[in-house]
Amino acid sequence: MIRRQFIKNTGLLSTASLLSMKYKSEVLKSVLDGKSHYGIQLYTVRDDMQKDPIGTLKTLAEIGYIDMECAGYHEGKFYGMTKDEYKMVLNDHGLVMNSGHTSTGYGNPSLKRTMINDWEAACEDAAYMGQKHFVCAYLSREETASLDKFKEIAELFNRCGEKAKEYGIGFAFHNHAIEFQEIDGVVPYDLLLAETDPSIVNYELDLYWITKAGKDPLTYFENHKGRFPLWHVKDMEDSEDQFFTEVGNGVINWIEIFKKAKDSGMKYFYVEQDVCRNHKPLESVKISYDYLKSIDV
C-alpha cells in the first residue's frame, strides 16, 4: 500500500527505459546546473573501509564518486586515521568531504566529540576537513520515545547548529522511518521542522526511509522549501519487504524527485544502500552510479 501510494503520488516508475531526452535535460538542469558532485555515504561500504580504507576510496574514485560522506568519525579520528592523514588520502585521490555524520552521544556520554560532549572540538575537526555540513545520523529508540523527547532533541539541534555556524558549517538531521510515526496525533519529523531554527538547522532527507514511512518527499519539498540541502539517494525493491536496492532498480521515481532539487534546496546528494544482498557493496554502488549517469544527474 505504501509503495503504490508513493508511485501514485509521483506519477511513474523509475525505469531508465522510460526516460525521454526532455526529461534528461530537465533533470540535469535541476541539479544546480551541474555543480553537485556525485556523492556516496561511506556507510554503504563500511566493511571495505574497515579492511582497506585507502583501496576502497581509490575504487570509489575510479567509479566516479567524488564526495565522500563520512560515517567513521570517532573521537577525532576518521576511519582510524588522524585528520591530517585522512585529508591527505582524500586529496591524493581527488576526493572531497562536504558532509560527515555524527551522533548525539546520549548513548555514551563519556564519548568525546559528540553533540553533547566536546562539540566545539568536533566542529573544529569538521572545518579542518572542509566539511560544509555536519549531520546527526540517527536517533535511538529512547530518544524518540515521546514528543517531549523530540522537543529536547530539537533544542539540542538548535544549540549544535548555532555552534556549527560559527565554524562555517551547516547542521542537519538524517531521518529514518521512525520520525514519521505519529505520537499523540503529531508527526515527530514535523515537530522537529517546526521547533528548529531554519537559519541553523536543516535536514538530510533519506528518500528511501521517508518513502518506507508512507510519506511523499515532494510534499515536504513544497511545504519546507530550502530545508533539505542534503539527500540520501537510496532505492526500494518492488517486493513484499520493500528491501534496499541499487538506485534505478527499484520503485522510487528519481526523475520527478531530481526535478524538484532546487525547491528542496539540495546542494549535495549521497548514494547509500544500507544492506547490499544481491551484489557486493562496491558492485552495488557502481550500478547506482551508472544509473544516475544514465539520467544525466
- How many separate domains does the chain show? 1
Q: For residue 233, give its domain range.
A: 2-294
CA gyration radius, the chain:
18
SS (H, E, C) 38-75: EEEEHHHHHHHHHHCHHHHHHHHHHHCCCEEEECCEEC
pLDDT digits 0-9 by tens, 44-86? 999 999 999 999 999 999 999 999 999 999 999 999 999 999 9
Contact 59, 282 (CB under 8 A): yes
For residues 259 and 220, is the Cβ–Cβ distance under 8 A? no
CATH, residue 150: 3.20.20.150
CA–CA gap between residue 67 and residue 41 (Å, rounded): 9
Q: What is the pLDDT along the chain (297 residues), one digit of tens a residue?
A: 444 444 444 444 444 444 444 444 444 444 444 446 899 999 999 999 999 999 999 999 999 999 999 999 999 999 999 999 999 999 999 999 999 999 999 999 999 999 999 999 999 999 999 999 999 999 999 999 999 999 999 999 999 999 999 999 999 999 999 999 999 999 999 999 999 999 999 999 999 999 999 999 999 999 999 999 999 999 999 999 999 999 999 999 999 999 999 999 999 999 999 999 999 999 999 999 999 999 988
Residue 261 has which C-alpha cell?
A: 532539487
pTM of this structure: 0.89
